[in-house]
Each structure stands twice: as structure tokens, then as C-alpha cells.
């Protein structure tokens, strides 16, 4: 099995077509310059020992060298053995509110970005625990299922924005139901749901969904983003400049208020705890400390492949190709020209032209 340790370097292969265009452009430029100063009859005599084929060979060697170095930088790795690794941990689903109200800036830089920052910090601290992400607004979707691939989790998290869910609203109950369906309830692992929202639930019955999840052993923690007094929702243009605040049909600025009472009740029904988000504290860190106190159970065996780096072979090949290109002259090799089956064609044509001129 082959993989690349640094696949981002493979994007450099996109430069190879530009190199081909550059070589073609240089050849055209060289040909044009020669035609301006040397006649077609005199050119073969002046450049008799210059080989156009060897110039193409040298350019091809350069391209191969470039490809070898790029592959070496990407560090291909070869899988050598497989073994089963037992894992213990807790299953954690984060339900993240991506409604427009999460753009309010009463928590800096705004409610959504603060939440994403805390989730990223949590992912970086995980060791063996499985984590998944549900995004919700008027409807809920699984952004990524339970996984221990924390790098992939961070990539999916970066893509989250208020446009991730097209349906407007805040359906906390839908997010709880989605998590309940997404947890492997038959596994003996502890199951934790963390809901990050401003609490303005306006669709579905979040209380009954939380009660049902709590009865099935799912621990529910809630994090309230924002202020109970409310904050306006800024509107930005395509250049990132604020143009206005969100307004209702009467033209009044809309204030989005944190509903702490609902979030406290949801957490209580899920045998968890409610936290109020602030600019100075990492609430997910506090929740993770509570999670670590839980008894972690084995949730299965994971196939693990041991990989060995192979970059040195490609880097070495690139260096050898560079030395060959440097040492290889673009001049014709006299003794090799004897084996060229087309070597007499040019001279025969020249002789015919010369004979015709004397007639």
C-alpha cells in the first residue's frame, strides 16, 4: 500500500506544462534570432556540430529531474505490515449551530468562529476518542461521522460556515435526533453530545428530544454563545466590509438573544452541564476534562499499517538526472553519427541542389 506523507507538494506537477511551453518558446525565439542574422544556406555549416535532438533530450532530463524531486518532497511511503490496535475512548458528537445569528460579534471574533476555534482545540487534544460533527440551522446534517482521523476532521471543520445548511432557523431538536441516530447505540462506549448554539430554538421540540436521548444514556452538554441582552447581526459585502445590520420587515435592527434557560434544561435532561461561552475561557476544554473522568471502554480494533519512507530514492534519482543534464553536451558526437540511418539524406539533397544550380 502506498501513500504520500506530504501530498500538498504534488500540486507542483502543474508547473510541468508551463515548463514545456517555456522550452517551446525558447526554441522559437532561438530559431527567429538565427534567421535574422544567418541565411538558411550558411546555418548548417556554422552549426554543423549542434544537435537539436540532444537539446530536446537535455530538456526531457530536466523535466524528469523535476518530477523526481517533487515526488521525493511528497515523500511516498510504502506499507510493510498490518497489525490490530485496540482503542479505548469516548464517542463525542459536536452539534454546531450555523444559523445566521451565530455571526453576531458579542463573542469575538464572532459566535461561530469562536465555536470553531474551540472545536479545533478539542480535536487537537483528543487521543483515542472518536469525534463527529453535526451542523444545524433549520435542518441538521452530519458534517463528518465519528472518526479518529483528526486531520480529516479539521479539514471538514474549516469548511463550516453559515452557508453549510441552506434552511434558515435553529432546530436544536433536529440536531439531537440526528446525533441519536448517528451514535452506534449497540457499542458499549460512553456517548457524549455537545451542543454549541445561541439557544434561540424556533423549530421542533428540543426538550422532548433531549429527554429521549438522556434515557438512552447519551450525555448532553450545552454551550451558550452570545449575550442574554442580545446583539445585532452584522452584514458584510463581498470585500469583507460591514455594510449594515440585519433588519426585520419594519426596518428595525434584529437582536439575537441567548436563551440560557432552554440550554440549561436540555443539559439537565441529558445528565450533563450548561456552560456560558466567554472571550477568555475555553468551555470545550472544561467539558473534555469532565469527559476524561468517564470510564473509557474499548470500541473495537483498528487496522494499522506501518509505513516506510521512500523519498530518498526519488531525491537521489533527481540528483543523478541533474548531473547527467549538466555533463551532457548539446554537441553532436561524431562516432555516433555514423549509426544514423538518415545521415546522408541532407548531403544528398544538398548535392542535388548544387548540381541543379550548375545546369
Domain check: are 286 and 330 in the same one? Answer: no
My answer on whether 162 and 125 are in the same domain is yes
User: Could you tell me if 71 and 5 are in contact, meaning their C-beta atoms sit under 8 angstroms apart?
Assistant: no
* Residues 278, 192 within the same domain: yes
Question: Are residues 224 and 171 part of one domain?
Answer: yes
Residue 49 lies in a domain: yes
Please tell me whether residues 210 and 106 are part of one structural domain: yes
Same domain? 177 vs 320 = no
User: Domain end: 260, 286, 302, which one?
Assistant: 302
Quote the number of domains for the chain. 2
DSSP string, 123-171: HHH-SS-EEEEEEESSSEEEEEEEES-HHHHHHHHHT--TTSS-S-S--
37 lies in some domain: yes
246 in a domain, yes or no?
yes
What is the average pLDDT across 37-61?
70
User: What value does the mean pLDDT take over residues 153-176?
Assistant: 90
- Residue 57 pLDDT > 90: no
How would DSSP label each residue in 109-134? S-HHHHHHHHHHHHHHH-SS-EEEEE
Does the pLDDT value for residue 353 go beyond 80?
no
Is the pLDDT at 145 greater than 60? The verdict is: yes
Nearest CA to 276 out of 220, 223, 228 is that of 223
Confidence category of residue 359, pLDDT binned at 50, 70, 90:
very low
Tell whether 127 and 42 lie within a shared domain. no
The answer to whether residue 92 is domain-embedded is yes
Cell 432546530 belongs to 171
For residue 107, which of 304, 307, 281, 303 has the smallest C-alpha distance? 281
Q: Give the 3-state secondary structure of 244-302.
A: EECECCCCCECEECCCHHHHHHHHHHCCCCEEECCCCCCHHHHHHHHHHCCCCEEEEEE
Note whether residue 252 is domain-resident: yes
The span from the CA of 354 to the CA of 224, in Å, is 95
Last residue of a domain, one of 283, 302, 321: 302
Residues 206 and 344 in one domain: no
Helix (H) or strand (E) holding 224: strand 218-224
**Measured torsion, CA atoms of residues 113, 172, 278, 128, in degrees rounded to the nearest 10:** -70
Roughly what angle, to the nearest 10 degrees, separates helices 311-327 and 52-74? 160
| Residue 93 belongs to a domain | yes
Q: What is the average pLDDT across 74-82?
A: 77
Give me the percent of the chain exceeding a pLDDT of 90: 39
* Secondary structure element (H or E) that encloses residue 66, with its range: helix 52-74
| 201 located within any domain | yes
CATH of the domain at 214: 3.40.50.410
Give the whole-number percent of the chain exceeding pLDDT 70: 79
**pLDDT grade, residue 347 (50/70/90)?**
very low
80 within a domain of the structure (yes/no): no
Grouping H, G, I as helix, E, B as strand and the rest as coil, residue 28 is helix
- What would you report as the CA-atom Rg of the chain, rounded to the nearest whole angstrom? 34
Q: Quick one: 172 and 287 in the same domain? A: yes
Q: What torsion, rounded to 10 degrees, do the Cα atoms 178, 180, 184, 190 define?
A: 130
283 and 158 inside one domain: yes
Instruction: List pLDDT tens digits, range 225-284.
Output: 988 888 888 888 888 888 888 888 888 888 888 889 999 999 999 999 999 988 888 888
Q: Per the structure block, which three cell numbers stand in for 273?
A: 452541564
- Count each helix (H run) and each strand (E run) in the chain, helices first: 12, 13
Mean pLDDT confidence for 100-113: 89
Find the domain containing 212 and state its range.
Answer: 85-302
Nearest CA among 286, 253, 269 for reference residue 209: 269
Query: Do 99 and 242 belong together in one domain?
Result: yes
252 with 324, same domain: the answer is no
pTM score: 0.60
For the cut 80, the answer to whether the pLDDT of residue 91 exceeds it is yes
Residue 196: predicted pLDDT: 95
Amino acid at each position: 500500500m502506498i501513500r504520500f506523507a506530504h501530498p500538498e507538494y504534488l500540486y507542483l506537477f502543474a508547473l510541468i506544462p508551463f515548463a514545456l511551453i517555456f522550452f517551446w518558446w525558447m526554441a522559437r525565439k532561438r530559431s527567429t534570432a538565427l534567421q535574422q542574422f544567418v541565411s538558411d544556406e550558411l546555418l548548417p555549416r556554422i552549426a554543423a556540430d549542434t544537435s537539436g535532438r540532444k537539446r530536446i533530450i537535455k530538456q526531457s532530463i530536466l523535466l524528469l529531474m523535476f518530477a523526481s524531486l517533487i515526488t521525493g518532497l511528497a515523500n511516498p511511503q510504502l506499507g510493510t505490515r498490518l497489525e490490530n490496535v485496540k482503542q479505548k475512548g469516548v464517542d463525542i458528537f459536536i452539534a454546531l449551530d450555523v444559523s445566521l445569528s451565530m455571526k453576531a460579534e458579542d463573542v469575538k471574533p464572532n459566535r461561530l468562529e469562536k465555536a470553531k476555534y474551540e472545536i479545533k482545540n478539542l480535536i487537537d487534544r483528543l487521543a483515542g476518542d472518536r469525534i463527529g460533527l453535526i451542523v444545524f440551522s433549520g435542518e441538521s446534517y452530519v458534517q463528518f461521522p465519528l472518526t479518529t482521523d483528526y486531520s480529516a476532521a479539521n479539514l471538514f471543520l474549516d469548511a463550516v460556515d453559515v452557508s453549510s445548511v441552506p434552511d434558515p432557523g435553529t432546530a436544536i431538536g433536529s440536531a439531537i435526533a440526528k446525533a441519536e441516530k448517528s451514535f452506534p447505540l449497540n457499542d458499549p462506549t460512553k456517548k457524549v453530545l455537545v451542543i454549541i448554539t445561541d439557544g434561540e430554538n424556533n423549530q421542533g421540540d428540543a426538550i422532548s428530544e433531549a429527554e429521549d436521548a438522556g434515557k438512552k444514556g447519551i450525555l448532553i452538554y450545552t454551550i451558550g454563545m452570545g449575550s442574554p441582552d442580545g446583539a445585532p447581526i452584522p452584514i458584510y459585502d463581498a470585500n469583507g466590509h460591514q455594510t449594515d445590520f440585519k433588519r426585520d420587515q419594519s426596518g428595525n435592527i434584529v437582536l439575537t438573544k441567548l436563551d440560557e434557560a432552554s440550554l440549561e434544561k436540555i443539559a439537565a435532561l441529558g445528565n450533563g452541564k450548561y456552560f456560558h461561552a466567554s472571550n477568555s475561557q475555553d468551555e470545550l476544554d472544561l467539558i473534555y476534562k469532565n469527559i476524561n473522568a468517564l470510564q473509557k471502554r474499548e470500541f473495537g480494533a483498528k487496522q494499522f499499517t506501518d509505513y516506510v519512507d521512500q523519498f530518498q530514492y526519488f531525491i537521489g534519482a533527481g540528483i543523478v538526472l541533474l548531473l547527467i543534464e549538466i555533463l551532457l553536451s548539446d554537441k553532436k558526437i561524431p562516432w555516433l553519427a555514423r549509426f544514423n540511418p538518415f545521415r546522408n539524406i541532407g548531403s544528398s539533397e544538398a548535392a542535388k541542389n548544387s548540381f541543379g544550380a550548375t545546369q
